[in-house]
Amino acid sequence: MSLSHLFKPKTPATQLISSNASHKKLTRGLMSALLVIVAAGCSNNDADAINSSTDIVSDSQKASAPSVTTADSDQAVVQALQANLSASGIEENIVSAVPTEMEDIYWVTAEGLPSFFTDKSGKHIIQGQIVAIGSDEPVDISAQLVARKAKDALKAVDKKDMIIYPAKGETKSVIYSFTDADCPYCTQLHKEMDEINALGIEVRYLAWPRSEASVPKMQAIWCSEDRSAAMDQAKGGANVQAPSCNDPVIEQMALGARLGVRGTPAIFTESGQQVGGYLPAEQLAQAVGIIQ
Q: Which residues are catalytic?
A: 180, 183, 186, 210
Q: How many CB atoms lie within 10 A of CB 72?
A: 14
- Give CA 61 to chain center in angstroms: 20
Q: Is 130 helix (H, G, I), strand (E, B) or coil?
A: coil
Q: Rounded to an integer, what distance in angstroms lies between the CA atom of residue 158 and that of residue 82?
A: 31
Q: Rounded to an integer, what distance in angstroms lies between the CA atom of residue 203 and that of residue 207?
A: 13
Q: Rounded to an integer, what distance in angstroms lies between the CA atom of residue 292 and that of residue 283?
A: 9
Q: Is the peptide bond before 166 cis (omega within 30 degrees of 0)?
A: no
CB-based burial label for 266 (10 Å; 0-12, 13-18, 19+): buried
Sort residue 200 into left (φ over 0), alpha (ψ -120 to 50) or beta.
left
Q: What is the dihedral of CA 100, 106, 109, 113, to 10 degrees?
A: -120
Q: What is the Cβ-side half-sphere exposure of residue 231, based on CA atoms within 13 angstroms?
A: 21
